[in-house]
Amino acid sequence: MDTFALKIIAINKVFYEGNAKQLIFSAVDGLVGIMAHHEDAVIAVNVGEVKIQTAEDRWVIAISGAGHIQIDRNHVVMMVDTVEYPEEIDEQRALEAKERAEEQLRREQSLYEYAISKACLIRAIERLKIKKKYSAR
Amino acid sequence: MSNLREIQSRINSVRDTMKITNAMYMIASSKLRKAKKSLKNTEPYFYTLQDAIAKVIKQIPEDISLIYFNGKPKAADEKKKGYIVITGDKGLAGAYNHNVMKIAEGELKKEGDPVFFLIGQVGRNYFETKGIPYDTAFQYTVQNPTIRRARVISGRILQMYREQKLDEVYIIYTRMIHSMECRAEMKKLLPLEKADFQEKEESGGLNRQTNYLPTPYDVFKNIIPNYITGFLYGTLVQAYSSEQNSRMLAMESATRNARDMLKSLSVTYNRVRQAAITQEITEVISGAKLLKRRKS
């Protein structure tokens, strides 16, 4: 299987740099998979799971924040605000954040605060989901 | 000349102060090391994103990019300006806070009715004592900058910008030029300048047929907040590093001064003690001489 050059950059670190066979991430309108020689595109990335099949056929799993991805002549650059491994996620903290966000959503608040709380809730839920999925094994 | 006990207590108090400044120096230097590391880690993101935006803006339809780039055509004095001012949470850092406030003060004198967003306790105290109004809902500290905090701040600023409560947003912070020099600066955050996004020569730009999924608007909507968040996080980390750096230098020189002071104080102390001893001896001798003379 052909590979492509992949770079995943978060605000505070370069998460992945190297060749990969496949990349799966969640776009605004659902999951998207990228393989070598994908057509050139710029895609908006949502909060969610990211799966990378490395050139050595190892699967790297992570959770990403929002951002975008650029595919340019077999060079793929993904730029998101955060990327974490499942084992980096603190379940307790995510749970607390989820409860906090839910509580804030129940209270009456401005449209802006609503949007922030909702985004927090989505992030917390995604974190928990992925943590659960990969800590069971 | 002051008496021995006074000098002794002075020496003790200077020594205690020196212990404190020395400890603060140590703390600041270890925090600085941490801050410098995170500063270095933000660089790749920032430069890549800048380059990415440069590629994208060429192809994004004008009506989408317009709001973030050129701003509304308005007369200069009608524009509502917002300033984000980053100071420290406490003083004891040389001229660090002062330099930032000086720029803010200069902007305050200009025409118009600017809104100030203050990050850091020192700036808040300053505005309070001067009785200058500022956005009180904006309560963030500068300690240990996190991405989460940058995200909240950028969300709020962008919201106000989109609602046209703000037409221009500037940020006043301290940039670390190298380990010995920090400079307070003002940068324009919004609207973005197309000139800031110059493509690197070798990258050659994106293919004409590049697809924007799901729509160019969605892509752009994701990129811009990310850029602002990254930028804010970068400036927060810069400011935090500069603060620790300034504090480190200030405390280093305070410790040095205390050491000099101790040196001169101990010289004085010895002189005074010697003078007292000499005086006592003179008294004893003259007393003894007097007795001797009287006997003979």
Look up the domain containing B281 and give its range: 4-16+253-295
Regarding whether B258 and B236 lie in a shared domain, the answer is no
Regarding whether A95 and A65 lie in a shared domain, the answer is no
What digits encode the pLDDT tens for the residues B47-65?
Answer: 888 888 777 777 766 666 6
Residue B89: closest CA among B243, B200, B293, B289 = B243
C-alpha A131/C-alpha A85 separation (Å) is 9
The verdict on residue B142 lying in a domain is yes
Judge whether residue B124 has pLDDT over 70. Answer: yes
Q: Residue A108 sits in a domain of what CATH number? A: 1.20.5
Average pLDDT taken over every residue of chain B: 83
Regarding whether A79 and A117 lie in a shared domain, the answer is no
What digits encode the pLDDT tens for the residues A101-135?
Answer: 787 777 766 666 777 777 888 888 888 888 888 87
Task: Say whether B229 and A79 touch across the interface (CB within 8 A).
Answer: no
The verdict on residue B167 lying in a domain is yes
Token pair of B267 as six digits: 């010289």
- CA distance to partner chain B, nearest, from residue A7 (Å): 10
Regarding whether A77 and A93 lie in a shared domain, the answer is no
Cβ(A84)–Cβ(A73) under 8 Å?
no
- The position carrying tokens 């001169």 is B264
Regarding whether A78 and A21 lie in a shared domain, the answer is yes
Nearest CA in chain A to B234: A11
How much is the CA Rg of chain B, to the nearest whole Å? 30
Task: Say whether B223 and A67 touch across the interface (CB within 8 A).
Answer: yes
Position B17 scores a pLDDT of: 92
β-partners of residue A35 are A22
Regarding whether A69 and A11 lie in a shared domain, the answer is yes
Regarding whether A122 and A67 lie in a shared domain, the answer is no
What digits encode the pLDDT tens for the residues B93-106?
Answer: 888 888 888 888 88
Regarding whether A128 and A95 lie in a shared domain, the answer is yes
- Averaged over A50-71, what is the pLDDT? 89
Residue B105: closest CA among B96, B116, B91 = B116
Q: How many domains does chain B have?
A: 2
The verdict on residue B25 lying in a domain is no
Q: How many domains does chain A have?
A: 2
Token pair of B20 as six digits: 């404190």
Judge whether residue B280 has pLDDT over 90. Answer: yes
Question: Which of B247, B267, B283 corresponds to the end of one domain?
Answer: B247
Position B161 scores a pLDDT of: 84
Share of chain B above pLDDT 90, in %: 21
What angle in degrees, to the nearest 10, is found between the helix axes of B147-162 and B216-295? 120
Helix (H, G, I), strand (E, B) or coil at B182: strand
Question: Which of A43, A59, A84 corresponds to the end of one domain?
Answer: A84
Regarding whether B207 and B120 lie in a shared domain, the answer is yes
Judge whether residue A50 has pLDDT over 70. Answer: yes
Regarding whether A118 and A77 lie in a shared domain, the answer is no
How many beta-carbon contacts under 8 Å exist across A and B? 99
Q: Residue B117 sits in a domain of what CATH number? A: 3.40.1380.10
What DSSP element (H or E) covers B123?
A: helix B121-130
C-alpha B120/C-alpha B139 separation (Å) is 8
Regarding whether B163 and B138 lie in a shared domain, the answer is yes
Position B77 scores a pLDDT of: 63
The string over B217-233, giving b where at least 16 C-beta atoms fall within 10 Å of a residue's C-beta and e elsewhere, is ebbbbbbbbbbbbbbbb
Regarding whether A102 and A78 lie in a shared domain, the answer is no
Average pLDDT taken over every residue of chain A: 84
Q: Residue B9 sits in a domain of what CATH number? A: 1.10.287
Position B269 scores a pLDDT of: 92
The verdict on residue B23 lying in a domain is no
Task: Say whether B229 and A27 touch across the interface (CB within 8 A).
Answer: no
Regarding whether A114 and A99 lie in a shared domain, the answer is yes
Q: For residues B154 and A89, which has the higher predicted lDDT (pLDDT)?
A: B154
Mutate to test the interface with A, among B138, B149, B219, B240 (most CBs of A within 10 A): B219
DSSP at B200: P
Helix (H, G, I), strand (E, B) or coil at B57: helix
Judge whether residue B108 has pLDDT over 70. Answer: yes
C-alpha A66/C-alpha B225 separation (Å) is 9
In angstroms, how far is the first alpha carbon of chain A from the final one?
28
Helix (H, G, I), strand (E, B) or coil at B146: coil
The distance from CA B248 to its chain's CA centroid, rounded to whole angstroms, is: 13
Q: Which residues of B touch A (CB under 8 A)?
A: 38, 41-42, 44-45, 48-49, 52, 55-56, 147, 150-152, 155-156, 159, 206-207, 209-214, 218-219, 221-223, 225-226, 229-230, 233
Regarding whether B168 and B281 lie in a shared domain, the answer is no
Position B25 scores a pLDDT of: 92
Regarding whether A50 and A92 lie in a shared domain, the answer is no
Look up the domain containing A78 and give its range: 4-84
Position B177 scores a pLDDT of: 81
Asked which of A79-93, B197-211, B239-253 is least confident by mean pLDDT, the reply is B197-211
Question: In chain A, which residues have their Cβ closer than 8 Å to the Cβ of B206?
Answer: 40, 42, 70, 72
Share of chain A above pLDDT 90, in %: 12
Q: For residues B87 and A93, which has the higher predicted lDDT (pLDDT)?
A: B87
Regarding whether A55 and A99 lie in a shared domain, the answer is no
Regarding whether B214 and B282 lie in a shared domain, the answer is no
DSSP at B13: H
The verdict on residue B56 lying in a domain is yes
Judge whether residue B201 has pLDDT over 60. Answer: no
